[in-house]
Amino acid sequence: MVYLCIMIFRILFLFLAFMATNSIAVADQQTYIVHMDKTKLKVSIHSHDRSKPWSESIIYFISEASMQEEEEKEEILAPQLLYTYETTMFGFAAQLSKKHLKYLNQVDGFLSAIPDELSTLHTTYTPHFLGLDNGSALWSASNLASDMIIGVIDSGIWPEHISFQDSGLSPVPSHWKGVCEQGTNFSASDCNKKLIGARTYFKGYEKVFGKLNETVSYLSPRDSEGHGTHTASTAAGNVVKNANLYGQAGGTASGMRYTSRIAVYKVCWPKGCANSDILAAVDQAVSDGVDVLSLSLGSDPKPFYDDLIAVASFGATKKGVFVACSAGNKGPSPSTVSNGAPWIMTVAASSTDRSFPTEVMLGNGKFFKGTSLYQGNLTNQLPLVFGKSAGTKKEAQHCSEGSLDPKLVHGKIVVCERGKNGRTEMGEVVKVAGGAGMIVLNAENQGEEIYADLHILPATSLGASEGKTIETYIQSDKKPTASISFMGTKFGDPAPVMGAFSSRGPSIVGPDVIKPDVTAPGVNILAAWPPKTSPSFIMNDKREVLFNILWGTSMSCPHVSGIAALLKSLHKDWSPAAIKSALMTTAYTLNNKGAPISDMASDNKAFATPFAFGSGHVNPVSAFDPGLVYDIGTEDYLNYLCSLNYTSSQIALLSRGKFACSKKAVLQAGDLNYPSFAVLFDRSALNANVTYTRVVTNVGKPQSAYAVKVKQPDGVSVTVEPRVLKFEKVGQKLSYKVTFLAVGKARVAGTSSFGSLIWVSGRYQVRSPIALTWK
């Protein structure tokens, strides 16, 4: 018996030792995105089989080299190739160990290996708000006839949705080379003349989180999250009459260019989107033949050579593809903007004049205005209780799961403070505990921005200032009460107003370029939704809807993607930079009441700045005919990277090894031919000055003269030479210089002031914002 126990112990010990060794080997491996210089690659040196792709040959070489160290053979796991990139960048993604990286460094043409990371996912009325409707010349039959393909990099699509039907569409564009991949609950027949392509990417994601649950996430282009369906229909969904969410926001829904074709690339899953998968999708989308790419996702800002979305989008732009990305939802903190590369159209988010108001009436007669998508009758005057005093746990303040005492909340309206759990999730907790309603309050640092949510019980959101008053009332009244009334859909609010959540500039990566570029509708946007996905994001909510209302820069981005497709179909000879310029220089900065655009991040909704909205709110009707454009070529972008003092190997990640910085030219980042001006002055430098050069191309009237108007930022004198630009023909290019001279007293580091430079000719006003920042 003792012998048997000893044998069992030895076997168990050996098994655990083996598992530990194997675990160490697995832990040492992770996914890397590897950049290669194609011009220096010598695959034949390392290739075991010259018929195999170059990336497989490299993997074979580093695997063999690693295994030759005899004493570590049992601990070495073979490298695993995930993707090969050849269109927008040159390289591959693979599972590699530190030892593999050592041998990878010996391969000719190796540039860098960047660890894979996760990015996160950052309409009935908006076409009308943007001036796009059946009366608009931009939506005339001739302008919509051209075949544009919008590639949507997101969480997939619900192909049966009415927004993606193909009745009346012409055959699939001849330049399309993509496919419709089969998978879980998705077949090739789910594509049509509207949804012309669908692919799925998950290898990078599974290396981090393990195998996906196919019954929950659909291992196919089918969307289980809802995000991708929503963004795809916002960009290019069909015209759908009587679209609404339980009677709210009713009207005719459509994408910005509703005749565009859609190609879907599913890269996002329940816990995020792996950059290796995003790169593979962008690479394939450009090869497939998309005209516009829409990416409502991103990660924290980082240098452009380390920013894989920036690298991939640079390659796409070189191929003539317009790339729009969301700015991120980390506002209102400064310098939070992501996707800030100058070749990307970076989109902030703001409101329309449509809202979903509620009214909260306290027992003392005071009332407050809130917002909610709950559709039902007003509540009676009910007992009111604070969550933090209605439970035994600290989490009761935020109405977290299991924190409320049913005896203390039954039949009452519960006041919950926003925390880590979702607002609709709070409502479920209150309802399970027997509560009759809920008021969601902002914490003091969350200000007055409130969100309309599709709650499962009578509930509304209120700002931080109202929260203080309600707390005082509850503490001072022996029997506090409240009622909530729901007022449906209202129009006519001052708009646009910048969303406080929308990420802000200045860019910490490229401060010489104002980011974001423009703002677009991103608050309370109604668009298509998968009927099997909970509209409140609560698993137990079994309601099925065809349209849902969401907010975020994820919602504003596809508006601009669709508008870009519209402009591209009208101006086929325009580059992505020219389209971007048209959208920026025609953007407006006044709201529908004639006042400057305000900011939800401020208690009194103070005026927003270019670090919130860029050049302003996108205006597609004016962008169709902008008068002048600021064009930028590939070499211009690379010279800009040189001006940032990037090394040759860092620049090679984007140039693919075919460019060298000039050793003679003096390069300034501010000389990039961008449609805005970011000026950086050292606060201690008296009479500091800088001169930037710009080149504009005439796309308006053949013979025209433009005079300059300047609104100088505080603390700087602006001189423009020449002050008049005279054009003789369309396509003519003229240059001008702008000199910025610091004047007045010394400034506080980190402060900014703003102005504008406008070229005026008749009805044309070509406007560029100026942002002056003191370092």
Does the active-site annotation cover 254? no
- 286, 150 in Cβ contact below 8 A? no
Q: From 350, 644, 646, select the one nearest 504 (Cα to Cα).
A: 350
Active-site entry in 154, 307, 453, 599: 154
Contact assessment for residue 556 and residue 158, using Cβ atoms and an 8 Å cutoff: no
Q: CB within 8 A of 621, min separation 6: which ones?
A: 130, 131, 132, 136, 137, 138
Q: Would you say 473 and 364 are in contact if contact means Cβ atoms under 8 Å apart?
A: yes
What are 81's strand-pairing partners? 94
Asked, as a colleague might, if the bond just before 303 is cis with ω within 30 of 0, I would say no
| DSSP letter (8 states) at residue 617 | B
User: Could you tell me the sign of the dihedral formed by the alpha carbons of 540, 542, 544, 545, in that order?
Assistant: negative
Cα–Cα dist 512/22, whole Å: 49
Q: Can you spell out the DSSP letters for 555-605?
A: HHHHHHHHHHHHHHHH-TT--HHHHHHHHHHT-B-B-TTSSBPEETTSTT-
Question: Is there a contact between 235 and 323 (Cβ–Cβ < 8 Å)?
Answer: no
Question: Residue 646: which of 509, 775, 506 has the closest Cα?
Answer: 509
CA 483 to chain centre: 38
Question: Looking at beta carbons, which pairs linking 658-664 to residues 24 or more positions away fall under 8 Å?
Answer: 658/39, 659/635
Q: Which of 372, 554, 598, 615 is catalytic?
A: 554
Residue 317 contacts residue 574 (beta carbons within 8 Å): no
Q: Angle at CA 612, nearest 5°, toward 631 and 771?
A: 60
Q: Judge whether 296 counts as a catalytic residue.
A: no
Active site includes 227?
yes
Percent helix, strand, coil in the chain, to 5, is 30, 25, 45
* Catalytic positions, written as ranges: 154, 227, 554
